[in-house]
């Protein structure tokens, strides 16, 4: 391992929230993303699909990246209601979340499906933010690390690099619940993920950003983001308000 650490990255996943009026929150994020903060942390917002184009246009020149929350594995075709990675890139977005636990659960997405979506993201020139994490039952059963191993092996395609992949570790039981693993638990899992990435991808694995997600908010961000191998956060509810989102990023100020 080298001493060089990846530049931190805070991404906001708005999920199924946000109408046209919500653009004001993006404007406030851009206004608060001062040069001193830009030098220390990268920011991205992933709004609902209906807002991708206006958000991407509004964010031009701001260095706030815009991402989508999902993509289809195919570039085009008879897939009613889906968006291809190429369509997402065409909006001006640069990132896409794949494999979020809500997609895995609500839409029965397997590791193979997530892998195909990550490959689609790369095909379109997008950065894939690939989510992994255990359920409460798996945590209680002591299988967290084996679950993470299985998801990493099955979901992350060959050819991953620090430039095209971000890993987001989100314990399913901590998403939106207010529950947060102990610092020791977070450190253990992130160190394990780093070790696996380095074992598979060598130096590229050292540079890949590993985000923590699950009830991150301004009041706990400083503590969480100081943990070794935590290179930022994938933020849900707290990303809907500019003040909260910037409050999390301010942990790096």
Active site residues: 100, 170
How far does CA 158 lie from the centroid of its chain?
19
| CA-wise closest residue to 232 among 151, 168, 176 | 168
Report phi then psi at 65, rounded to 5: -75, 150
Q: Are 72 and 79 in contact (CB under 8 A)?
A: yes
User: What is the helix, strand, coil percentage profile of the chain, to 5?
Assistant: 45, 15, 40
CB 183 within 8 A of CB 138: no
Other Cβ atoms less than 10 A from the Cβ of 110: the count is 12
Q: Say which DSSP state 80 is in.
A: T
């Amino acid at each position: 391992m080298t001493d060089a650490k990846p530049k931190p990255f805070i991404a906001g996943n708005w999920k199924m929230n946000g109408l046209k009026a919500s653009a004001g929150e993006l404007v406030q994020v851009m206004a608060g993303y001062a040069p001193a903060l830009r030098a220390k942390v990268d920011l991205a917002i992933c709004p609902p699909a209906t807002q991708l184009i206006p958000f991407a246009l509004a964010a031009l020149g701001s260095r706030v990246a815009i991402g989508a929350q999902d993509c289809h594995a195919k570039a085009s075709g008879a897939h009613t209601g889906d968006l291809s990675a190429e369509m997402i890139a065409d909006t001006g977005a640069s990132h896409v979340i794949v494999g979020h636990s809500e997609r895995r659960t609500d839409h029965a997405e397997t590791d193979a499906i997530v892998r195909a979506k990550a490959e689609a993201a790369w095909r379109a020139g997008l950065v894939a933010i690939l989510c992994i994490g255990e359920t409460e039952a798996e945590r209680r059963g002591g299988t967290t690390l084996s679950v993470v191993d299985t998801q990493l092996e099955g979901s992350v395609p060959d050819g991953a690099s620090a430039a095209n992949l971000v890993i987001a570790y989100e314990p399913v039981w901590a998403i939106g619940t207010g529950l947060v693993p102990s610092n020791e638990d977070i450190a253990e899992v992130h160190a394990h993920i780093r070790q696996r990435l380095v074992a598979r991808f060598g130096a590229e694995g050292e540079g890949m950003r590993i985000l923590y997600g699950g009830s991150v908010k301004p009041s706990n961000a400083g503590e969480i983001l100081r943990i070794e191998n935590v290179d930022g956060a994938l933020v849900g509810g707290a990303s809907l308000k500019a003040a909260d989102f910037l409050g999390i990023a301010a942990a790096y100020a």
